[in-house]
Amino acid sequence: MAKPIRSGSDLMKRNLLLFAGFSLLVMLAPQFFRGGYLMNVLVFVGINTMLAIALNLLLGYAGQISLGHAGFFGLGAYLSGIMTTTFSMNPWEAMPVAALVVGCLAYLIGFPVLKLKGHYLAMATLGLGIIFFIIFNETYEWTGGPSGLSGIPNLQLGSIVFDTDVKNYYLIWGVTLAVMLFSMNLAQSRVGRALRAVHDSEIAAQVLGVNARHLKVQIFALSAIICSLAGSLYAHTMTFISPTTFGFNFSIELLTMVVIGGLGSIYGSFLGAALLTLLPEFLRGANDYDIIVYGGLLVIMVMYMPGGLVRGIPALFRKIVKREAESGNA
Amino acid sequence: MLELSGITQIFGGVTALDAVSFSIAKGDITGVIGPNGAGKTTLFNIISGIYKQTAGTVLLEGKNVSGFSPERLARHAMVRTFQNIELFGGMTVQENVMVGMHTKSSSGLLACALRMPWSSAEERRIREGAVKWLEFTGILDLAEHAAGSLPFGKGRLLEIARALAALPRLILMDEPAAGLNSQETVALAQLIKRIRDLGITVVLVEHDMELVMDICDRIVVLNLGRKLAEGTPREIQECPEVIAAYLGDDD
């Protein structure tokens, strides 16, 4: 028997419903945590979700790796920071300017760099990240060097100043939800399909008229813009930034979030970002052994959930339900 | 429709193609045949813009398209399929065909991500168009399956559906019957004839002689990088040079 084909609008309705439910949960979360330290951590979950999505668009959809995304994150943070302190610009104006500058830069870098494939692309983007890191450290008349840049103003909307964890939570998550919706729309569109096509078979995509080279550069620039936006928001909520946040380690951490969460899934990026941000907090009790537990968990997860959390958790759930049913029948 | 003149391809010191010239009439099914190593696939790769020839020109509908990239040729209504089918394995069957309509749609990255009204309308059009081509090739019931899990024969049909979705005027097929069983080959022959009936010019490289003789209006024979003969299936079957090339000379 032929399986009925789900129409596009049915699929869209289901996705929108899922997203509405997720947004509601995000918006209600502060009610459960009532301020407290965890609110601060959840702000970071939001920022990391944005960054993981940015990298996932590039890696999970277009199949192009980057080990330098912390650099774009840092660039956004520093540009916003410098423009609002040294040049006393309004943060709302500084953010888009920073994003635009980072986007243009990524676009220009993307043309030569994205000609490379596989390990070579990884090396080139790794180098890019290191260059940014060195710039943050060495141009101390602008960035404050290793001792950082402080006194960055908070964002302000009318009389509301975003200076507490709860206010920042709503600010960051408002933007994060917008980025999620934006990315999911993109993934389900002609451009998203072309990206995945390039990932699966570049030659077949080209034969069908997809300009693979330009598309890769476009998505690289978009990815950098999202990173820059996250960086600006980070700078304005923390009010202090220093280079160590934007080093090579963080690029690797982002990569881990994307892979653990699930390549090519926007909710996966959220799960990965949430897990890797929350886990260290919960492992504090393990004192010095936390890093071993943390590393061990990652190894186990990659071994048993190669599709990431977003595919692994439902599979695990189905397995448990099945086992329950079987033991119930016995 | 397609005119090749003096196509020469040299790889290092090896001459893969030596001044090959022929032309293909609009609306015909043309078969390119020849023993292994005759240069058929090289010729296809040149026509479809994957290789750049050492010398010679390719005219597509009277326009010199030598050295055009594959994506540019797609916009000139020429697509191809591959011998080892190149599907987008991580996507569904329907999504594969939807990618085929890339050149027939235009929404940019921002319009798609912001779900502008015109891009949503276009998305609906793409989805419906894909259904039409899945129906044409008879794999509509597989629309929701992952393309990577299809059996080879169905994958071949999907690749053809995807190519047709680009609304080509010329379609190149690289060994479409390779890997198919005899039943599937018969169905393929019917499908290729129906494609011609849509007014699409078909060029195929093929080893299955029965298929070639059955469906082709004209045949071009290559041997050792040169054009050996050209004509109707009957003329080719009776051509002594072709028989010698396939069966070996006696002297």
pLDDT score of A6 more than 60 = no
Instruction: Work out how many domains chain B is built from and give that number.
Output: 2
Say yes or no: B125 and B135 in one domain.
yes
CATH of the domain at B63: 3.40.50.300
Asked if residues B176 and B160 have their Cβ atoms less than 8 Å apart, the reply is yes
Question: For A98-136, what is the HEC assignment?
Answer: HHHHHHHHHHHHHHHHCCCCHHHHHHHHHHHHHHHHHHH
Identify whether residues B13 and B49 lie together within a single domain. Answer: yes
- Predicted confidence band of residue A273 (pLDDT cuts 50, 70, 90): very high
Q: In this predicted structure, what is the pLDDT of residue A7?
A: 59
Q: Which of B50, B166, B180 is nearest to A202 (CA)?
A: B50
Contacts of A318 (CB under 8 A, 6+ apart): none
- Residue B83 inside a domain? The answer is no
Which of B140, B167, B194 corresponds to the end of one domain? B167
* A8·B127 Cβ contact <8 A: yes
Interface test with A, best of B106, B109, B127, B145 (most A CBs within 10 A): B109
For residue B76, what are its two tokens? 């000139």
Q: What is the pLDDT of residue B192?
A: 94
Q: Are the C-beta atoms of residues B200 and B29 closer than 8 Å to each other?
A: no
A212 compared with B106, residue with greater pLDDT: A212
CB of B52 within 8 Å of a chain A CB? The answer is no
Strand order in the sheet with B218-223: B78-81, B170-174, B201-205, B29-33, B218-223, B226-231
Same domain, B163 and B175: no
Q: Where are the domains of chain A?
A: 18-329
Instruction: Tell whether the model's pLDDT for residue A289 goes beyond 90.
Output: no
The average confidence (pLDDT) of chain A is: 90
- Check CB contact under 8 Å for A209 and B140: no
Give yes or no: residues B59 and B95 share one domain. Answer: no
Question: DSSP letter at B204?
Answer: E
Q: In angstroms, what separates the C-alpha of B118 from chain A's closest C-alpha?
A: 12
Given this model, what pLDDT does residue A35 score? 64
Among partner residues B89, B98, B162, which is closest to A200 by beta-carbon distance? B89
Q: Which residue of A has its CA nearest to B76?
A: A209
| A199 touches B: beta carbon within 8 Å | yes
Q: Show the domain range for B146.
A: 89-167
A208 to B140: CB separation less than 8 angstroms, yes or no: no
**B102 inside 8 A of chain A by CB:** yes
Residue B65 and residue A238: Cα distance in Å, rounded? Answer: 57
Indicate if B221 and B250 belong to the same structural domain. Answer: yes
Nearest CB to B144 within list A6, A192, A206: A6
- State the average pLDDT over residues A206-231: 95
Same-domain check for residues B2 and B70? yes
φ, ψ for residue B229, nearest 5 deg: -160, 165
Q: Which of B146, B167, B188 is the last residue of a domain?
A: B167
Q: Would residue B82 count as lying in a domain?
A: no
Give the DSSP per-residue string, B81-95. E-SS----TTSBHHH
**Best mutation target, A6, A100, A180, A208, to test chain B (most B CBs within 10 A):** A208
* A296 CB-near residues (< 8 Å, 6+ apart): none
| Most A-contacting residue of B101, B115, B173 (CB-CB within 10 A), to test interface | B115
A90-99, A320-329, B30-39 — which one is most confidently predicted on average? Answer: A90-99
Residue of B65, B84, B85, B88 to mutate for A, most A C-beta atoms under 10 A? B88
Q: Answer yes or no: is B180 within a domain.
A: yes
Long-range CB contacts for residues B69-75, cutoff 8 Å, separation at least 24? B69/A206, B70/A203, B70/A206, B70/A207, B71/A206, B71/A207, B71/A209, B71/A210, B71/A211, B71/A212, B73/B48, B73/B49, B74/A206, B74/A207, B74/A208, B74/A209, B74/B102, B74/B103, B74/B166, B74/B168, B75/A209, B75/B103
pLDDT at A8: 62
Based on the fold, state whether residues B176 and B128 are members of the same structural domain.
no
- Asked which of A107-121, A172-186, A259-273, A306-320 is least confident by mean pLDDT, the reply is A306-320
Is B84 within a domain?
no
Tokens, residue B146: 């992952």
Name the pairing type of β-strands B201-205 and B29-33. parallel
Among the candidates B113, B137, B167, a domain finishes at: B167
Rounded-to-5 percentages of helix, strand, coil across chain B: 45, 25, 30
- The strand pair at B29-33 and B218-223 is best described as parallel
- For the segment B132-143, what is each residue's pLDDT rounded down to a tens digit? 999 999 999 999
The CA-based angle B75-B78-B79, given to 5 degrees, is: 105
CA distances (Å), B34 to each of A293, B44, B219, B232, B249, in order?
A: 63, 13, 10, 15, 15
**b (16+ CB within 10 A) / e for B18-57:** bebebebeeebbbbbbbeeebbbbbbbbbbbbbbebeebe
For tokens 């939570």, the residue is A169
Share of chain A above pLDDT 90, in %: 70
pLDDT value of residue A122: 95
Say whether residue A4 is in contact with chain B using an 8 A CB cutoff: no
- Is pLDDT above 70 for A325? yes
One domain for residues B162 and B174: no
- B110 and B158 assigned to the same domain: yes
**B145 plus B22 within the same structural domain:** no
CB contact under 8 A, A208 and B166: yes
User: Which residues from chain B sit within 8 angstroms of residue A196, using beta carbons?
Assistant: 88, 90-91, 95
Q: What share of chain A is helix, strand, coil (3-state, %, to 5)?
A: 80, 0, 15
Least Cα separation, residue A328 to chain B (angstroms):
33
Q: Is residue B23 part of a domain?
A: yes
Q: Which of A64-68, A198-202, B65-69, B201-205 has the lowest mean pLDDT?
A: B65-69
Task: State yes or no: pLDDT of A11 exceeds 90.
Answer: no
Structure confidence at residue A3 as a pLDDT band (50, 70, 90): very low
Q: Residue A239 pLDDT > 90, yes or no?
A: yes
Q: Which pTM does this prediction carry?
A: 0.90
The verdict on residue B116 lying in a domain is: yes
User: Could you tell me which residue, A291 or B226, shows the higher pLDDT?
Assistant: B226
Chain B nearest-CA distance from A164, in A, is 31
Tell me how close the Cα of B148 comes to any Cα of chain A, in angstroms. Answer: 10
**Residues B108, B68 within the same domain:** no
Q: How close A196 comes to chain B (CA, Å)?
A: 8
**Is the minimum CB–CB distance between B192 and chain A shorter than 8 Å?**
no
Name the stretches of chain B with pLDDT < 70: 248-251
The answer to whether the beta carbons of residues A98 and A234 sit under 8 Å apart is no
Q: Cβ(B149)–Cβ(A228) under 8 Å? A: no
Interface membership of A210 toward B (CB under 8 Å): yes
- Asked if A190 lies within 8 A of B122 by C-beta distance, the reply is yes
CA–CA distance, A87 with A16 (Å, rounded to integer): 42
Segment among A35-44, A70-79, B61-70 with least mean pLDDT: A35-44
| Number of inter-chain CB pairs under 8 A, A vs B | 117
CB atoms within 10 A of CB B185: 17
pLDDT surpassing 70 at residue A283: yes
User: Both B217 and B243 in a single domain?
Assistant: yes
Question: What CATH number matches the domain at A18-329, 3.40.190, 1.10.3470, 3.90.550, 3.30.870?
Answer: 1.10.3470
